[in-house]
A and B are shown apart, each in its own frame.
Chain A
């Protein structure tokens, strides 16, 4: 627990009871407590540190200081909705709930409040269809592109033929964990592999039944949609039954240092999806060190880890959206509606990333009114247990867009029909 950060966050939260004019208010829905706290903390730190750096180094964004308001959700959907209700009228610009359950609940609420949601790599996958989901963005990747990336990687490993192969999905028995099933079922039909589904109940401390079943059925590959302790136990159990780690591929939420370190050397070779790069070998860290870590304004305790990098990346994408909106409207003090418009024309290029100090950190992409999902490209990273490092072993590759786009169109059309929405983007 970072005491200083909590004290600062509390002070900030108190100070925004009546928000000062001309500042960019960004609520940060965090979970620093509870069963998922060990994962929530590095992400929240990365997110907070990115905006703190912009404030310290650049005087905010476009001359406006960023006021980050942390609200603790404990990864609890009800608490997440409470956080939204408590902060939506404070001039909040964007929400990043870091929970698929919370995102699902906030989709209609945020749309009604004209506030954009950026659910980066989680949430409702079909929200990538901007024609239906006007305020929801889920670039640069989503669970269906992730599921497709897993299968594409397996196809690469098997020289393009996975007919008759057995692939098992071990998943968190929640809205999040069930997201990839539809895509995997479609891909199973297309490539004629055998899919077996193994749900694990929250929190996932006990998985003996699932791993005995895996041992009996001997799947050729396993993919995992886990979170928190479920990941650590699954990787340990896989090692216990001597399942080859290079055939075990987690989604990007099952691929942090937290997940593999408890299993020690046995986790060597485990793979996970990546929507961005990781580590500290980026010029941005020089500034973070100078302005935050060395001055005691942030601990930097989790700097360079996967989840800290992801929080930082999420902060960077929101900040670039704000810059785009400021440029588009010609005013620095933008509204949430302006930011929504800004997100729809956001363009992330390698030149831009290099200028920020994050060269080759993530993919280049362009958002549009029709597509809120970005490039849907994914890389594979692999764990080196000896050196305790993750390394990308593939470039950022696209998924099976025929299947993904078709599923997105179907699901978003069903949502539009249920909610009586007409398509936009003319």
Chain B
């Protein structure tokens, strides 16, 4: 009985982890859907957004090392500490500016290029952003605190402890994960509403369906790209906040993209619901596998392996992913 209850706990925590993976995968899907670009820089965007948020919140002088090295000054902080909401708004504005600059200086010059060229461009962008972020905000580990509580939820633990005997301590749920789930639901709902019921949303869907047709009815591809990269930037900011709250903001945050890849392979690169369902399946699957087989029989640390194995299986039997559009090419 206790093992069964702990199994349920693992499933619930797997769901929560899946939501965190979906948050990252969403950014990939948005850009791929609208422009056919696999954005290698999505993880670095999350890192850069979180670094900007902490930098603004803590009143850090951007490029302080560079300024001090060149001018021999000692500027590090403005001396303020800004409210988290204001800092999030400023970081969001920076991500909008980032989207504009990406379109203006990279994508604009690559219209009609092969997808592989666009992919290569995003690799370059990722490395540029890594260095630029370090130069702007420094590479030290930053503590991110936007007021979201963290740690095991006492209330849930106490209220569920009666389900098992002495060896059951109640269900463990991290409060941060609960917040992340609520925020993800709001984010996805907003995206769906925006996509279904606004003129810009319809334009986005039109571009996603057929670039040429969308262009022929007067939709500006460049404008759509700025919008879509802006939304992906905001999604990256949300992912950066959630993951950064757990580990501090540091380079490793950019590696969360690795957790999104199997989600995308499973859910499909073109489906927002696919990113969510894919994330949940990967989250539950890897945690359950680790609980039932990985830890007891294989020595543990099987999660990454399992996630990619599951994704590989889906690729073999359904290459477009669970919700992806089937690619049919006639010769």
A199 to B256, Cβ gap below 8 A? no
Q: Is A136 an interface residue (CB 8 A)?
A: no
Contacts of A239 in B (CB 8 A): 151
A1 to B247, Cβ gap below 8 A? no
Among B174, B250, B253, chain A packs the most CB atoms within 10 A around the CB of B250
A198 to B300, Cβ gap below 8 A? yes
A240 to B141, Cβ gap below 8 A? no
Which listed residue, B13, B150, B169, B247, touches A208 by the CB 8 Å rule? B13
Contacts of B16 in A (CB 8 A): 208
A1 to B301, Cβ gap below 8 A? no
Q: Is A111 an interface residue (CB 8 A)?
A: no
Chain B nearest CB from A217 CB (Å) reads 10
A191-232 to B contact mask, C-beta < 8 Å, 1/0: 000000111110111101110110110000000000011001
* Nearest residue, chain B, Cβ from A209: B290
- Report if A208-B255 is in contact (Cβ < 8 Å); known contacts: A38-B141, A201-B301, A232-B141: no
B299 to A197, Cβ gap below 8 A? yes
Among A32, A216, A233, A242, chain B packs the most CB atoms within 10 A around the CB of A216
B141 to A258, Cβ gap below 8 A? yes
B299 to A199, Cβ gap below 8 A? yes
Q: Is B98 an interface residue (CB 8 A)?
A: no
* Nearest residue, chain A, Cβ from B150: A240
* Nearest residue, chain B, Cβ from A296: B72
Contacts of A4 in B (CB 8 A): 69
Q: Is A10 an interface residue (CB 8 A)?
A: no
Contacts of B115 in A (CB 8 A): none
A203 to B252, Cβ gap below 8 A? yes
Q: Is A360 an interface residue (CB 8 A)?
A: no
Q: Is B287 an interface residue (CB 8 A)?
A: yes
Contacts of B103 in A (CB 8 A): none
Which listed residue, B6, B72, B130, B143, touches A264 by the CB 8 Å rule? B143
Which listed residue, A1, A33, A229, touches B65 by the CB 8 Å rule? A1
Instruction: For the complex, give the distance between the alpha carbons of A365 and B43 in Å.
Output: 47
- Report if A173-B17 is in contact (Cβ < 8 Å); known contacts: A4-B69, A38-B139, A208-B287: no
Contacts of A112 in B (CB 8 A): none
B284-303 to A contact mask, C-beta < 8 Å, 1/0: 00110011001100011101
A27-39 to B contact mask, C-beta < 8 Å, 1/0: 0000011110110
B295 to A213, Cβ gap below 8 A? yes
B256 to A205, Cβ gap below 8 A? yes
- Report if A208-B139 is in contact (Cβ < 8 Å); known contacts: A35-B255, A38-B251, A262-B248: no
Among residues 215 to 255 in chain B, which have CB atoms less than 8 Å away from a CB atom of chain A? Answer: 243, 246-248, 250-253, 255
Among B20, B150, B243, B294, chain A packs the most CB atoms within 10 A around the CB of B150
Which listed residue, A33, A41, A236, touches B246 by the CB 8 Å rule? A236
Instruction: For the complex, give the distance between the alpha carbons of A344 and B291 in Å.
Output: 49
- Report if A262-B138 is in contact (Cβ < 8 Å); known contacts: A197-B300, A241-B172: no
Q: Is B182 an interface residue (CB 8 A)?
A: no
Q: Is A2 an interface residue (CB 8 A)?
A: yes
B150 to A236, Cβ gap below 8 A? yes
Contacts of A210 in B (CB 8 A): 300
Chain B nearest CB from A7 CB (Å) reads 8
Contacts of A197 in B (CB 8 A): 299-300
B300 to A261, Cβ gap below 8 A? no
Count contacts on B: residues with CB < 8 A to the other chain: 48
A261 to B141, Cβ gap below 8 A? yes
Chain B nearest CB from A224 CB (Å) reads 14
Contacts of A208 in B (CB 8 A): 13, 16-17, 174, 287
Instruction: For the complex, give the distance between the alpha carbons of A173 and B252 in Å.
Output: 16
A3 to B65, Cβ gap below 8 A? yes
Q: Is B66 an interface residue (CB 8 A)?
A: yes
A225-269 to B contact mask, C-beta < 8 Å, 1/0: 000110011001001111000000000000000100110101000
Instruction: For the complex, give the distance between the alpha carbons of A15 and B260 in Å.
Output: 44
Q: Is B140 an interface residue (CB 8 A)?
A: yes
Instruction: For the complex, give the distance between the alpha carbons of A318 and B140 in Å.
Output: 27
Contacts of B17 in A (CB 8 A): 206, 208
Instruction: For the complex, give the distance between the alpha carbons of A233 and B139 in Å.
Output: 18
B303 to A206, Cβ gap below 8 A? yes
Instruction: For the complex, give the distance between the alpha carbons of A204 and B259 in Å.
Output: 11
Instruction: For the complex, give the distance between the alpha carbons of A201 and B300 in Å.
Output: 9
B252 to A205, Cβ gap below 8 A? yes
B255 to A41, Cβ gap below 8 A? no
B139 to A215, Cβ gap below 8 A? no
Instruction: For the complex, give the distance between the alpha carbons of A41 and B304 in Å.
Output: 28
Contacts of A7 in B (CB 8 A): 69
* Nearest residue, chain A, Cβ from B21: A206
Contacts of A296 in B (CB 8 A): 72
Contacts of B303 in A (CB 8 A): 201, 206, 209
A34 to B141, Cβ gap below 8 A? no
B140 to A203, Cβ gap below 8 A? no
Contacts of B66 in A (CB 8 A): 3
Contacts of A205 in B (CB 8 A): 243, 246-247, 252-253, 255-256, 259
A34 to B151, Cβ gap below 8 A? no
A240 to B301, Cβ gap below 8 A? no
* Nearest residue, chain B, Cβ from A234: B247
Chain A nearest CB from B203 CB (Å) reads 36
- Report if A240-B248 is in contact (Cβ < 8 Å); known contacts: A1-B138, A205-B255, A208-B13: no
Which listed residue, B152, B259, B304, touches A241 by the CB 8 Å rule? B152
- Report if A38-B172 is in contact (Cβ < 8 Å); known contacts: A208-B13, A296-B72: no
Chain B nearest CB from A142 CB (Å) reads 24
A242 to B13, Cβ gap below 8 A? no
* Nearest residue, chain B, Cβ from A32: B139
Q: A33-B130, A200-B301, A262-B141 are in contact. List 13 more A-B contacts (CB 8 A).
A: A33-B134, A34-B251, A35-B251, A38-B251, A209-B10, A209-B300, A212-B13, A216-B6, A229-B248, A240-B152, A242-B151, A242-B152, A261-B143
Q: Which 6 A-B pairs have the closest CB atoms?
A: A262-B248, A229-B252, A199-B301, A3-B69, A240-B151, A209-B290
22 A-B contacts (beta carbon < 8 Å): A1-B135, A1-B139, A3-B65, A3-B66, A32-B139, A37-B251, A38-B140, A38-B250, A41-B140, A197-B299, A198-B295, A200-B301, A206-B259, A206-B303, A208-B287, A209-B294, A212-B10, A213-B291, A215-B169, A229-B252, A240-B150, A240-B151
Write the residues of chain B forming the contact surface with A, with a CB cutoff of 8 angstroms. 6, 9-10, 13, 16-17, 20, 65-66, 69, 72, 130, 134-135, 138-141, 143, 145, 150-152, 169, 172, 174, 243, 246-248, 250-253, 255-256, 259, 286-287, 290-291, 294-295, 299-301, 303-304
